[in-house]
């Protein structure tokens, strides 16, 4: 009898523990422009309950990379969400040239829908250009659409692609004259009351002055707060703290300034918490999904660089946002009742001017001058100034109509374009686009181009910049390459059914979706090109 009673207790404990380990909510966090080395270089000032809690309680994949180019926001979020690369999901950049429409297009624009809040340009959006479904789509279809997906970011492309095609809601920030979280009629006909209520207080709560969180000596590896590497805000003659945002906003696109301060991330945390509460996420037996995109890190990184006081301060404040979110999730959903992952959508290069002053060969090239130079040299060869339709994502789109009208040979124009590109000392290599349409075996950088190549959306000539070279102004920095500083981003899984550990094995961004689906025991997509990083589920 005693043994039987003990057996019953054990079975009861196992069943209770199993219930605690059942995920009710997937929390997908994408930090815009977060390099992996930020986790290690800045950890001395992180709290114990933010990033460190995820690392100490979760599984840290320390060698996680993007396996395609260009490494920019829209392809980054689409690849995280779908478990595939741009060659499959079709989001080949934030923008690309559309040959049918004969114009450059933005990745989420869809004139079939209307703005709900904000203005027309910022609201006419949908995920139509993403060719495949997201992990959230498959989770919903696995339970007959009884679960719910809400996706949030300061950027529309961050919210829309992470939410997938069947999201119940995707929200993003419109600044300028209003300062509202908005959406598209793709999702709903009007904003919920709770969103309207939240919007009423955005200006008062988040448009505020910015000073250092810590004492200056706590920050890592900076020489001067005011320097020649960082961009100025209009109305401020230097790049030193403090930033009187309340005074500067009228000269810097109004409420848009919120995005360029750490308080944009605070807004996202608070809005995500309100979404979980008001949409009853994680409240029933069907696993829900919330995706959270922290984008202020990207705006600030572009403006100020990798190890600036501004960027460091933003990450120390983001650490506190992660702490706030985790505390809420533990209390509201339960410590073992949600599954969370955190990653980045790309990294970034340090400001080239700063690297040069440190003795590193680096450069920032004017894109407009570069394009004009290519056009001029093609004119010398073919007597036409209209052979280039567009130059973006390190690709050249050739005007085939002009080629035909002038009676030129298309391959000759391609050949000449490639030879011109190779004359620039900052170009490492250039290729015909059809090189990447074949079934050849690729390796190194060529494999990254292949994984990012869609023949209908990419250019006719593709080129590689040398390391530490960007198309940008001399102040500030950007990203987009296949070098480690752009590809190496964090990947941490935490929560239900996640044991503590870490790995130096190389993993890829398209491994995230297969891993989440495996943890939830949901069937995989056919288009997943990644793999599940955990076994035994």
Could you give the residue numbers annotated as active site? Answer: 73
- The burial class, CB within 10 Å (0-12 / 13-18 / 19+), for 442 is middle
Q: In sequence order, what DSSP letters do the residues of 1-68 get, joined into one string?
A: -HHHHHHHHHHHHHHHHHHHTS-SEEEEEEETT--THHHHHSGGGS-TTTHHHHHHHSEEEEEEE--S
Going by the DSSP 8-state scheme, the letter that residue 101 receives in this structure is: T
Whats the size of the chain, residue-wise?
537
DSSP helix/strand/coil, 185: coil
CB 61 within 8 A of CB 53: no
* Sequence-ordered list of residues with C-beta below 8 angstroms from that of 220, at least 6 positions apart, any chain: 41, 42, 44, 307, 312
Neighbour tally for 22: CB within 10 Å? 15
User: Which residue has tokens 């300028």?
Assistant: 176
Give me 404's structure tokens.
Answer: 């035909």
Q: In sequence order, what DSSP letters do the residues of 117-153 get, joined into one string?
A: SS-HHHH-B-STT--S--HHHHHHHHTTT-S-EEEEE
């Amino acid at each position: 009898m005693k043994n039987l009673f003990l057996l019953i207790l054990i079975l009861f404990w196992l069943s209770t523990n199993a219930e605690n380990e059942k995920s009710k909510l997937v929390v997908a966090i994408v930090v815009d422009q977060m390099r992996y080395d930020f986790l290690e270089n800045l950890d001395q000032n992180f709290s114990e309950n933010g990033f460190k809690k995820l690392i100490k309680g979760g599984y840290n994949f320390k060698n996680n990379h993007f396996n395609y180019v260009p490494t920019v926001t829209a392809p980054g979020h689409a690849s995280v969400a779908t478990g595939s690369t741009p060659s499959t999901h079709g989001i080949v950049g934030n923008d690309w040239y559309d040959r049918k429409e004969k114009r450059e297009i933005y990745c989420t624009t869809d004139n079939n829908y209307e703005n709900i809040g904000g203005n027309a340009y910022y609201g006419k959006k949908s995920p139509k250009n993403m060719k495949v479904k997201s992990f959230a789509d498959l989770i919903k279809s696995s339970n007959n659409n009884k679960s719910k997906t809400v996706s949030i970011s300061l950027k529309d492309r961050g919210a829309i692609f992470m939410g997938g095609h069947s999201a119940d809601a995707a929200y993003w920030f419109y600044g300028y004259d209003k300062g509202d979280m908005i959406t598209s009629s793709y999702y709903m006909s009007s904003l919920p009351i709770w969103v309207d209520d939240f919007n009423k207080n955005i200006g008062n709560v988040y448009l505020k002055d910015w000073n250092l969180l810590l004492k200056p000596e706590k920050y890592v590896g900076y020489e001067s707060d005011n320097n020649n590497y960082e961009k100025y805000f209009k109305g401020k003659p230097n790049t030193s703290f403090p930033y009187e945002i309340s005074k500067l906003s009228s000269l810097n696109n109004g409420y848009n300034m919120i995005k360029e301060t750490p308080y944009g991330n605070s807004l996202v945390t608070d809005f995500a918490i309100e979404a979980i509460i008001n949409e009853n996420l994680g409240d029933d037996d069907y696993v829900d999904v919330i995706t959270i995109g922290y984008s202020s890190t990207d705006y600030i990184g572009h403006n100020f660089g990798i190890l600036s006081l501004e960027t460091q301060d933003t990450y120390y404040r983001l650490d506190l946002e992660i702490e706030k979110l985790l505390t809420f999730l533990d209390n509201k959903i339960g410590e073992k009742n949600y599954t969370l992952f955190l990653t980045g959508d790309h990294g970034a290069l340090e400001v080239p001017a700063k690297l040069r002053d440190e003795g590193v060969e680096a450069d920032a090239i004017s894109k407009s001058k570069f394009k004009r130079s290519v056009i001029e040299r093609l004119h010398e060869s073919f007597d036409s100034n209209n052979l280039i339709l567009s130059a973006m994502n390190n690709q050249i789109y050739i005007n085939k109509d002009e080629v035909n009208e002038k009676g030129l040979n298309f391959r000759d124009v391609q050949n000449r374009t490639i030879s011109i590109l190779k004359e620039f000392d900052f170009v490492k290599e250039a290729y015909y686009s059809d090189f990447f349409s074949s079934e050849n075996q690729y390796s190194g950088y060529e494999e990254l181009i292949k994984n990012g190549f869609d023949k209908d959306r990419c250019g006719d000539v593709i080129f590689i910049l040398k390391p530490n070279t960007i198309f940008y102004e001399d102040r500030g920095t950007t990203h987009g390459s296949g070098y480690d500083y752009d590809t190496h981003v964090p990947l941490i899984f935490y929560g239900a059914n996640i044991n503590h550990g870490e790995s130096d094995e190389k993993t890829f961004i398209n491994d995230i979706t297969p891993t989440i689906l495996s943890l939830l025991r949901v069937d995989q997509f056919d288009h997943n090109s990644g793999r599940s990083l955990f076994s035994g589920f």
